[in-house]
Structure 1
Amino acid sequence: ERYATLKRFLERNPHPIKPYQLALQLADLFDQYQVHRSDWLLDWAEGKDILKKREEGTASLDIPPDQRWQPDFWRALIEDLGEHWEMNSRSRLHTKFISRLHEIADQGEPIPPGLSRRIIIFGISSLPRQVLETLAALSRVCQVLYFVHNPCRYYWADIIEGKELLSESSRRFAKKEGFPSVLEDQDLHRFGNPLLASWGKQGRDYVKLLDEWDDLATSQKIFKNDINLFSEDLPDASSLLQQVQNGILELLPLPSEAEKTTPIGKDDDSITFHIAHSPQREIEILHDQLLRIFDQKEDSPSSIQPRDVIVMLPDIDRYAPHIEAVFGQQPDPSIENPPPAIPYSIADRKTRGHDPICKAMEALLDLPASRFAASEILDLLEVEALQRRFGLKVPDVSLLQRWIRDAGIRWGIDVEHRSEGEFHAPIDPTLSLNQNTWDFGFKRLFLGYAMGHGDAFEGITPYPEIGGMEGPILGALRDLLNSLQSLRDRLKAEAIPEAWVALFKELIDAFFQPQGSEEERSVALLRETLDQWYRQVAEAGLTTSLPLAIVKEAWISKLDEPRLTQRFLGGSVNFCTLMPMRSIPFKVVCLLGMNAADFPRLQPQ
């Protein structure tokens, strides 16, 4: 059976979310095929179960036996789309678009309406082959100017192992004088720059890809001047950073001990390394170093401001709490002339991980599997929008925390809840199953409110610390638990998408009363992503009942999708994820979390 691989995945540890996870992976896989190997998909659509190679004149490869389900799956998808296949397949649209552009150019037709006479692309570090094919076809009917960053003025693909050398005629960049025609592995250190050799694979591959589409003779004919714009008037490499930069630009190997090198000054801090034992210590060192830089440059013409600094990390969410703890601390009033606070902003954070309302929403959707631990309910009570909805104030939360602790509430709604599924009875057989549940605790709290100090009533000892004016606070806690229990019961059953959307909108209104721009923005984001998910479901014609696990993940995961509203370049020290081209406008670039296990980031397969 060709689908045995997928079947094994679904049958091993079955869970309602696994079909959805598999669908996500398959969608991403075939989307990548459409971008990078559309020729494979076109062959598969015609019934050719082969893997075509890029190089002309080379034989195609057979698909491995355990992957032969992929062509079948693609054809089944085409059959399911029916007449919509032609307009929804990127690979098919790409082929038609390219053919139409060549037809316009060959027949001398006018430029189609809406197509600009000139297209300019810049600030992009890499593009897939399919996009370059499109730009090459567009260049036949309009002018296309593509500005490419290249760290080295010479042809440098030779210095990386595993390359396929291009022919001399297709290279835009000349070989450096003195380079051998073929560079052996043992000579890499003698002729190649080690940073390009180890970190330049993506740039090497991209420059090589551009060379395949670059008509060097035509460009030299049109552009009389040299369009390889490398600076000829380089400053003296006085700092270590300038020496590194010039070494990459000029394709210089590491100097030998016998060669004369430029000495590094004792006060040269252009490149510095710090070793720290924890993320917290990394941030503390960074904070101290930035204060030193701002203080040193304060009166100089080349002063460094917070907006000139970028801090990039492989995992921004892991470091965000430490950043807020160090950079967000208030100056100590007991210290004379305390260091100034450094303004900062954190970009690229996952909304579901730090936004209080979104975190609370995710916790509410997890109620069917919740033990109703006291700590979980107290975490919900920390959300101010939820406090307002149930008539509570910030000081009331600490009071409720004391009541819950002293009343002995630990986990579980009642005996029935504790008896469900994976929840087990107490280890001590002398204890009642109702001991330390919310039902047990509320009986103590309300009995104490009604009678104050007194003897136990039907085996329940009253909790006497609740006064008459505090009754509404206790009632609000009871209302919250009733609402949570009712919501838990409603979330257990499967429902059609329309019913889920109605329930979630009701949930937002029932548990949150936003106040202020931040909270209103969070609630608006919840509603916006929910409507977006429902539109996609409606377009797909999905009307079957779905379990909560799938609906929750499909909705909440949309909160983390990139949006234009995320702050960046806001005039302060910018903390962000490591991404290409991000460091260009900054004078100071700092890297944190560059541990061997964390960078380069590994994509799970």
Structure 2
Amino acid sequence: MDEFDQTQQHLQLFQGQRVDLFEARPTDHLLGQLQDDILNLRTLEETRSQWPALTAEQCASVQFATAHSLLREIEVLHNDLLQQFAADPTLQYRDVMVMVPDVAQYSAAIHAVFGRFDKTDPRCIPFTIADQAQQHEEPILRALRYLLSIRRQRFGLSELLDLLDVPAVAQRFSLTDLEREQCQDWLQQAGARLGLHAEHQQQQGIYALDGQHSMWFALQRMLLGYAFGDQTPWLGTVPYAAVKGLDAAAAGKLADCLAQLHQLWQDAEQRLTIEQWQQRLLQLLEQWFVDEEPAGQELLQQLRSELVDTAALMQAASITETLSLEVIADAWLAPFDSSSLPQRFLAGAVNFATLMPMRAIPFRQVHLLGMNDGAFPRQVQKQDFDLMAQHYRPGDRSRRDDDRYLLLEALLSARERLRISWLGRDKFDNSALEPSVLIAQLREHLSQGWTLTTGTPLLDALTVEHPLQPFSRRYLQELPSYHYEWQRFYQPKPSETQWPLPARMPQTAVPLAVLSDFVRDPVRCFFRQRLQVSFEFFEQSVADHETFVANALDHYQLRQRLVDQLWSAMRQGLPFDVLGQLTVAR
């Protein structure tokens, strides 16, 4: 096109003209003055002489916040956004941008805080999370990746329960939530800990167990208990008699799942052609995943299409030899392991994204989270084969310099408010933690360049230190909070309160499990069904190995039991061998 571009003929039309695409921002607040200083490259002396003392309202455009944990950081952000939306009706969800060094670390906390409110709740804030690989976001992909690498898995009890927790897998085997909890209790009580069966334990190098405490071992005990109904050993195996009645259907579904796992474990050892693997993997999707949600169906269809495309690509490359499952699995799932730039970005809600280029576009409010010391600028581990990292030269790319530039971009993209937060206190001993060195430099620059009309230090007015817990009294006195559930703890209790409970008749058929719970423990069932009170204060973690050493709670319970037995023996005047009983207890 250069030969048709008549530059010299049109040059006179642009003489004396300057095209300036920069839009000047108002300088009536701290953020605008800081951005104007960056534009004009002012020094600290020029800044002090350029801007007068600020009021508290003018300082609100820049704010720093500290929290004790990542979850508290997200809870504080949620409170702050609710306050901003209530104060400014013109502020829309799409006007807010939240950026973090690594959004994958914050994904679970974001879903836990922002996703717990129903759409009818006024505290509900729509949000989108960008820059996430589908493998880390979709349960189906995580489960599929686990199944395809089954030869490398140790297959602990917690791994099996996590697999059954995937909704698409639970629907495939018709497992309800109650049946899943029953299977968890049965497997734990029957001794399931590690390994699929004896052959799997030996393949993993665990020869001493010889099938003991495997999933098949526990299932065999459960089926023997259902068949015999007692605990009489049969061929060296003690039955587990808790499986009985109609509840045994859950054991049958669990047996179907373990049979499918055994077949997959055997198939994963083979080396097959591309056409054979294509048929096997399509069958695997049919045998393991059933999703009634449109998003899940779309993902399964996308997996099928990607498998067909991968097989066609390998055939076009004239790959005729047999391949292992690991090779075909990596080629199949490679497109799902990387995140794409347009992934749900600017979708009309509050945007969460990773600090990266093309993210710092103008927003009315920009929030930077996770600006911790050591986390930002981000550290890049040097590779042994990276010669540029070993022999650095001026002009080579530096990740730390890139992050400095990204912080500058984010600062300039904020139009009305910039808010920066980090973990400023240790959650164990409440000791002070320093922010990122870049944030420390920014805070130092602000404290030296601007002053307040009241004479108080500027950083004290800009920084808010939040307490460790969301139910702190500070949220009732000085800090705003929209989590009004915690206010009930501080309300005075009336001297006499009578709340009559009206009678209630069930409108639908009562499930057999609910009726069985009522017959077994009426008081417990009444508290759970009518008062919504649960006596399970915590969920016991699932162990993948046997406990050989007692923890602190076990030691306390043993000592308490011995003390009770000692007092009982003393009241009855009976002898009591303390050392002997202590040895037996240990």
TM-score (norm 2): 0.60
Question: What is the deviation of 1:381?
Answer: 0.8
Partner of 1:289: 80
Partner of 2:354: 577
Q: Which whole-Å deviations, capped at 9, do the CAs of 1:370-423 have from their partners, x for residues lacking one?
A: 222111111111122222222323322111111111111111233332222433
Task: Work out whether 1:351 is the aligned partner of 2:107.
Answer: no
Partner of 1:130: none
Task: Map 1:495-534 onto structure 2 (within 5 A).
Answer: 495-534=272-311
Distance in 2 separating the partners of 1:521 and 1:438: 33
Conserved 8 A contact 1:378-1:401: yes
Q: 1:258 to 1:344 in 2, by over 3 A?
A: closer
Task: Work out whether 1:456 is the aligned partner of 2:230.
Answer: no
Partner of 2:502: none
Pairing partner for 1:263 from 53, 58, 67: 53
Partner of 2:205: 422
Q: 1:141 to 1:533 in 2, by over 3 A?
A: farther
Question: What is the deviation of 1:294?
Answer: 1.2
Partner of 1:249: 39
Q: 1:377 to 1:284 in 2, by over 3 A?
A: same
Pairing partner for 1:537 from 314, 331, 356: 314
Q: Which whole-Å deviations, capped at 9, do the CAs of 1:4-57 have from their partners, x for residues lacking one?
A: xxxxxxxxxxxxxxxxxxxxxxxxxxxxxxxxxxxxxxxxxxxxxxxxxxxxxx
Conserved 8 A contact 2:134-2:339: no
Conserved 8 A contact 2:216-2:258: no
Question: What is the deviation of 1:563?
Answer: 5.3
Question: What is the deviation of 1:344?
Answer: 1.3
Distance in 1 separating the partners of 2:150 and 2:71: 33
* Secondary structure of residue in 1 paired with 2:265: helix
User: Is there any run of 5+ residues in structure 2 with no aligned partner, and where?
Assistant: 384-586
Task: Map 1:130-529 onto structure 2 (within 5 A).
Answer: 138-141=1-4, 220-224=11-15, 226-230=17-21, 234=24, 237-255=27-45, 259-267=49-57, 268-298=59-89, 303-330=90-117, 340-426=123-209, 433-529=210-306
Q: Which whole-Å deviations, capped at 9, do the CAs of 1:426-463 have from their partners, x for residues lacking one?
A: 5xxxxxx3321123212210111112234222332222
Pairing partner for 2:328 from 551, 556, 563: 551
Partner of 2:539: none
Question: What is the deviation of 1:530?
Answer: 2.0
Distance in 2 separating the partners of 1:493 and 1:140: 62
Question: What is the deviation of 1:522?
Answer: 1.8
Distance in 2 separating the partners of 1:547 and 1:264: 68
Q: 1:142 to 1:591 in 2, by over 3 A?
A: farther
Conserved 8 A contact 2:154-2:204: no
Question: What is the deviation of 1:222?
Answer: 4.8
> After the TM superposition, which parts of structure 1 deviate over 6 Å for at least 4 consecutive aligned residues?
none
* Secondary structure of residue in 1 paired with 2:248: helix
Task: Map 1:27-176 onto structure 2 (within 5 A).
Answer: 138-141=1-4
Question: Percent same amino acid at aligned positions?
Answer: 35
Distance in 2 separating the partners of 1:599 and 1:239: 27
Mean CA deviation greater in 376-385 or 589-598: 589-598
Question: What is the deviation of 1:517?
Answer: 0.4
Count of residue pairs the alignment pairs up: 381
RCO comparison, higher one (Cα < 8 Å, 6+): 2
Query: Amino acid of the residue matched to residue 569 of structure 1?
Result: L
Conserved 8 A contact 1:453-1:462: yes
Q: 1:600 to 1:553 in 2, by over 3 A?
A: farther
Conserved 8 A contact 2:136-2:142: yes
Question: What is the deviation of 1:580?
Answer: 2.8
Distance in 2 separating the partners of 1:482 and 1:307: 49
* Secondary structure of residue in 2 paired with 1:272: strand
Pairing partner for 1:594 from 351, 371, 395: 371
Distance in 2 separating the partners of 1:521 and 1:454: 48
Distance in 2 separating the partners of 1:454 and 1:257: 84
Q: 1:297 to 1:480 in 2, by over 3 A?
A: same
* Secondary structure of residue in 2 paired with 1:568: coil
Q: 1:265 to 1:436 in 2, by over 3 A?
A: same
* Secondary structure of residue in 2 paired with 1:474: helix
Query: Amino acid of the residue matched to residue 317 of structure 1?
Result: A
Q: 1:290 to 1:599 in 2, by over 3 A?
A: same
Q: 1:223 to 1:418 in 2, by over 3 A?
A: same
Q: 1:284 to 1:219 in 2, by over 3 A?
A: farther
* Secondary structure of residue in 1 paired with 2:271: coil
Q: Which whole-Å deviations, capped at 9, do the CAs of 1:173-200 have from their partners, x for residues lacking one?
A: xxxxxxxxxxxxxxxxxxxxxxxxxxxx
Query: Amino acid of the residue matched to residue 322 of structure 1?
Result: A
User: Is there any run of 5+ residues in structure 1 with no aligned partner, and where?
Assistant: 1-137, 144-214, 427-432
Question: What is the deviation of 1:139?
Answer: 4.7
Query: Amino acid of the residue matched to residue 259 of structure 1?
Result: S
Question: What is the deviation of 1:223?
Answer: 3.3
Mean CA deviation greater in 365-374 or 573-582: 573-582
Distance in 1 separating the partners of 2:321 and 2:34: 60
Question: What is the deviation of 1:254?
Answer: 2.8
